[in-house]
Amino acid sequence: MKRYSVLAIAREALRGHLGWDRAWASPAPRAHYDVVIVGAGGHGLATAYYLGKNHGIRNVAIVEKGWLGGGNTGRNTTIIRSNYLQDPSAAIYEKSRSLYETLSQELNYNVMFSPRGVMMLAQTQHEVRGYQRTAHANALQGVATAYIGPQKVKELCPIIHIDGPRYPVLGALWQPRGGTARHDAVAWGYARACSDMGMDIIQQCEVTAVRQSQGRVTGISTTKGDIACDKLGIVVAGHSGELARMAGFRLPVESLALQALVSEPIKPCMDVVVMANTVHGYMSQSDKGEMVIGGGTDGFNNFTQRGSFHHIEETVRALIETFPMLSRLKMLRQWGGIVDMTGDRSPIISPTPLGNCFINCGWGTGGFKAIPGSGWAMADLMARGTPGPLAAAFGLDRFRAGRFIDESVAAGVAH
């Protein structure tokens, strides 16, 4: 793999850019792999990368029914934060946030990580108490956050209207080292690194069955033929329930569409990320000047990746009270992603009832921010067969035992 650098760009510019290698190979599947990972989104690719980097397991195939990064990884709003209330959540999201800080250097691929800061607005007294509690919890967890007053909110985000008639801004939970990254660049950077380690990324290859014998996985059947494996990882976000059904077990998840939209590009006016749970919306400004806007999930189970008019109306109407300038903008485009939600709004990183089959799902609306930490924890689980400290609390058994990790407030609005 050629190393990307300023000198490489200058050299190729003089040669008409004819010397660049493909970022990753597209091989035909082999008959057998030590590990097969289903899902070539951010979480699946990160799992493969850390299997190779941390555990030396490189006979790996990443199988994707569509194109690389074409699912939720390419359909989210790119927000990165770790200001969660519960200790297990804060640990894995902070691990992920810290890995994002050096990911461009590690992968030799610019993921455009921007630690611009994330604030979660308190617009009711209930939220004031809740975010103050979270700030205290974060201090104990080693996560750098602070509760700030309305004037500081206005200073950090001048376009915000803090004296709204229904929901005035009373303060915010502020994480200065949160931010955003380029979603497709994260997937491409991991894919390039995986391919360089000799792993096979197999696109347009849909899984049709999970093969098993005597209670253990033996491989998968796909539209490109059968592939045998010693271990199987299922990392397919909103389609986790379908893959689990093929493997012979059920998951406590439901699939919902999460919608977002962007405005026409405008001049820079907002250099932080703002989340407003009470009015149910959040917003940041992209590098191209678009206002990136999102809200909550649809109120019914579905697998659609298209947006809907009523969702635009509900989300934008809610945000206009806090950001009046939105009323003068035109929408450029909208989209949806399929998220898998657990009852406690926390993920599942766990062995399954099928031997040597492992699953990583249930990230709901918080998947993108978790990609590096999720991949790190899932790789550790698959390599060792038992969960490490990051994944230990997120097993399937917690639903039977009633050990819920309730993050419905921290994850409820979306990112």
CATH number at residue 175: 3.30.9.10
Contact (CB, 8 A) for 92 and 407: no
Identify whether residues 26 and 94 lie together within a single domain.
yes
Tell me: the pLDDT tens digits for 350-377?
Answer: 999 999 999 999 999 889 999 999 999 9
Place of tokens 């509900």: 314
Q: Cite the beta strand spans of 149-224 per DSSP E.
A: 171-175, 179-180, 200-202, 207-213, 216-222
- Residues 287 and 310: their CA atoms lie apart, in Å, by 28
pLDDT of residue 398: 95
Q: Per the structure, how many domains does the chain have?
A: 2
pLDDT of residue 415: 39
Q: How far is CA 242 from CA 3, 210, 214, 361, 376, in A?
A: 39, 11, 22, 12, 24
Position 405: which residue type?
Answer: I
User: Is residue 334 assigned to a domain?
Assistant: yes
Choose the final residue of a domain: 342, 361, 378: 342
User: Is residue 413 assigned to a domain?
Assistant: no
Choose the final residue of a domain: 342, 373, 392: 342
User: Is residue 142 assigned to a domain?
Assistant: yes
Identify whether residues 92 and 189 lie together within a single domain.
yes
Average confidence (pLDDT) over 49-76: 95
CA-wise closest residue to 71 among 209, 183, 179: 183
136 φ/ψ sector (left φ>0, alpha ψ -120 to 50, else beta)? alpha
Average confidence (pLDDT) over 139-155: 97
Contact (CB, 8 A) for 26 and 203: yes
Residue 410: pLDDT band with limits 50, 70, 90: low
**Residue-range definition of the domain harbouring residue 159:** 118-179+255-342
pLDDT averaged over every residue in the chain: 93
User: Is residue 311 assigned to a domain?
Assistant: yes
Identify whether residues 261 and 399 lie together within a single domain.
no
- Residues 152 and 160: their CA atoms lie apart, in Å, by 11
Q: Is the pLDDT of residue 412 over 50?
A: no
Q: Is the pLDDT of residue 197 over 70?
A: yes
- Residues 178 and 340: their CA atoms lie apart, in Å, by 24
Tell me: the pLDDT tens digits for 301-339?
Answer: 888 877 788 888 888 888 898 999 999 999 999 998 899
DSSP state of 20: P
Choose the final residue of a domain: 342, 363, 383: 342
Average confidence (pLDDT) over 193-197: 97
Identify whether residues 164 and 278 lie together within a single domain.
yes
SS3 string of 306-372?
CCCHHHHHHHHHHHHHHCHHHHHCCEEEEEEEEEEEECCCCCEEEECCCECEEEEECCHHHCHHHHH
User: Is residue 188 assigned to a domain?
Assistant: yes
Residue 405: pLDDT band with limits 50, 70, 90: very high
Tell me: the pLDDT tens digits for 269-281?
Answer: 999 999 998 888 8
CATH number at residue 59: 3.50.50.60
Contact (CB, 8 A) for 347 and 404: no
Q: Is the pLDDT of residue 409 over 70?
A: no
- Residues 216 and 209: their CA atoms lie apart, in Å, by 14
* Residue 206 half-sphere exposure toward CB, CA atoms < 13 A: 5
User: Is residue 111 assigned to a domain?
Assistant: no
pLDDT of residue 99: 98
Average confidence (pLDDT) over 70-86: 93
Average confidence (pLDDT) over 188-203: 97
Identify whether residues 37 and 131 lie together within a single domain.
no
DSSP state of 114: B
